[in-house]
Amino acid sequence: MSSRGMSAKAAAQRGTVMMSPDFTGTAVAEPGLLPPAEVIVEAGAFGAAMGGVGTGIASGIAVRSGEMTVKEAARDVARNSVNGALTMSVATVVAHMVRARPMLGVGIVAVLGLGALALLRKKPAPAVVPTEGAAP
């Protein structure tokens, strides 16, 4: 019995706690809105490794063939490692939110999708090229 006088099974049925995955009747705490920090860090490290390895291979080939310098290759590897880390961290948080609170998670995914779509549709400003003899 819990401190409120109801069994773990009754508490789980009321939605205050969740049943354990093995259905033994032991109550487990409801998952929080955000995953633990360790999970986010692990996902970021994995994303950084995947982004860095893929870009490192491609950049190494480009350096050997003379298409780019070592400095440019290092910059590309660093940039794609950071992008991979951020992408995996955000994806982990969003996936956890969708599992923990489905309606809120779906809303957040929709907002993020609309934001990404707006960024993709944004056209860059035309470059202004000065002509000879024109006043600045």
pLDDT tens, residue by residue, 56-99: 999 999 999 999 999 999 999 999 999 999 999 988 988 888 88
pLDDT category, 10, cuts 50, 70, 90?
Answer: low
Taking the model in full, what pTM does it have? 0.60
What pLDDT does 115 receive?
84
63 HSE (CA, 13 A, CB side): 15
pLDDT tens, residue by residue, 89-116: 988 988 888 888 888 878 888 888 888 8
DSSP letter string over 74-92? HHHHHHHHHHHHHHHHHHH
Residue pair 122/88 in contact by the 8 Å Cβ criterion: no
102-121 vs 70-100: helix axis angle to the nearest 10?
150
